[in-house]
Amino acid sequence: MNGHDRFPPLTDDILYGLANGLFEDDQGRALLDIWHAGVIDERTYGMIRHRVDKDRLGQALSGMPFREARLGEGAFVIGLDLRGRVPRRMPIQYLNAHTLTVANTGAGKTIRGKFYALQIAPQVRGMWLLDLRKREFRVLRPYLARVGVDLVVLEARALRINPLQVPLGVAPADWTSRVSDMLVQVLGLPPRASKLVQTVLFRLYRKFGVFDGAKRYPTLFDLYEAVRADGKSNPPARLALLDSLEPVLRSLGPQVLAYRFGWTSTDLAARHLAIEFGGIGEVEKNLLLNSLVLSEFTSRVARGISNPRMDLWILCDEAHRLCSAAGSGQTGAIADLVGLVRGTGIGLDLSVLSTADLAPQVLSNTATKIMGRCGSAADYAAAGHSMGLTSDQIQWAQLNLNPGVFIGQLGEGDWRRPFVFRIPPMRLPEAGQDDGSSDGRLLALPVEAS
């Protein structure tokens, strides 16, 4: 039974117009008032019918099962229309609720990230571009410099951090439980190991005077030695911790982790960084990323920061392994953090290759969804359903999404329908054609080696 069977033609036209926003201008609202008053005449009905017929014809001629997006307000350009002419805009603060992009290799995820970074960098106090595979974002340095943004390029092995360092404003007792759970998750340890880490870390904090206000903290090397010397602890938990932690310590070495006082997340959150993680293992990436993001989140909560404007934007490119549900039952490093960091002024932008093995927390806690060209029907279906796409829209996506063309669905604002957009081509130099890393500009930050 269709609308014409249930309602008179005029009522059907009114319902179509309301559903598609055809009466939102002054004249449209006047036409609705006349209809509500029941005094409509042939001329007024003709005006209503003209609006509806024009919209239906335009929709049919477009060849797309998507409506023309009404996204013209806001300073942030999501992309252009399919013809590459009309910008799709939104307020930049919509990114505060996190973004997930699903698209396979070559679909244009990294170009999208660069396009967004160039817009966002001048508007936020801090930006972290986390390049997990390649060295793509360093090419943005000269362009950001033109607008007064100093992008620091940093290799992951040049970080000077201490995951056991208590963040600004956080009580040491609170941090022991948080960092213990984080280590268990990142290292893939049995739950019993969390109690072991908490107990040993509590003793180390007391030994180093952390509970009395000292700013010299134990390191993961100290934790390893303390657990190895603790013969009375639970044997399976103890051996699992030692077996998992030792390769990480050997891989990252003292040049990254052996600092009694390392770079604080608060200092780093006030800078624009491109951190390159290529060449280190997945567990090491998990550890470094979790240490940075969890530390900054916990600090903001402890300091009472709630629902502020976004002042730190974190782009995590090629984040599929960090967002996975992992067959072992352990979730990726970012998966659990996505829900935690909402409302603290931190905006996360995650890009994944596929929905396969994607942790449910990621889909549930990212408000804005973007889908590019995918590699399988299952990806189109899973990503499409999470965005509210119809079967016709999913089929169109399978046949028409090309590199640089995406379907978006915003989590905030009045326009919540899926829409098609195109990222404009960006002719930037190839990666590696700049002057290398620039971590020397961070050397002024205070550190104390162990």
Q: Which CATH architecture has domain 76-157+270-279+311-441?
A: 3-Layer(aba) Sandwich (3.40)
**Tokens of residue 190, six digits:** 């049995």
Q: What is the pLDDT of residues 346-379, one digit of tens each?
A: 999 999 999 988 888 888 889 999 999 999 999 9
Round to whole Å and give the CA distance between 312 and 321: 23
Q: What DSSP assignment string belongs to 292-334?
A: HHHHHHHHHHHTT--S----EEEEEET-TTTTB--TTSPPPHH
Round to whole Å and give the CA distance between 264 and 257: 13
Tell me what the pLDDT averaged over the chain comes to: 89
Round to whole Å and give the CA distance between 364 and 349: 14
Q: Describe the strand order of the beta sheet including 419-422 as a list of residue ranges.
A: 87-90, 76-80, 419-422, 405-409, 368-371, 99-102, 346-352, 312-317, 126-131, 272-276, 151-155
Round to whole Å and give the CA distance between 296 and 301: 9
pLDDT at 203 over 50: yes
Residues 6+ apart with CB under 8 A from 212: none
pLDDT at 328 over 50: no
Q: Which amino acid is at 321?
A: R
pTM of the model: 0.87
- For 164-193, b where at least 16 C-beta lie within 10 A, e where not — what string? bbbbbebebeebbebbbbbbbbbbebeeeb
pLDDT at 169 over 80: yes
Inter-CA distances, 33 with 7, 16, 39, 52, Å = 19, 16, 9, 17
Mean pLDDT of 330-348: 73
pLDDT at 254 over 80: yes
CB 48 within 8 A of CB 10: yes
Domain ranges of the chain: 3-62, 76-157+270-279+311-441, 172-254
The per-residue pLDDT for 414 is 87
pLDDT band at 132 (very low <50, low <70, confident <90, very high): confident
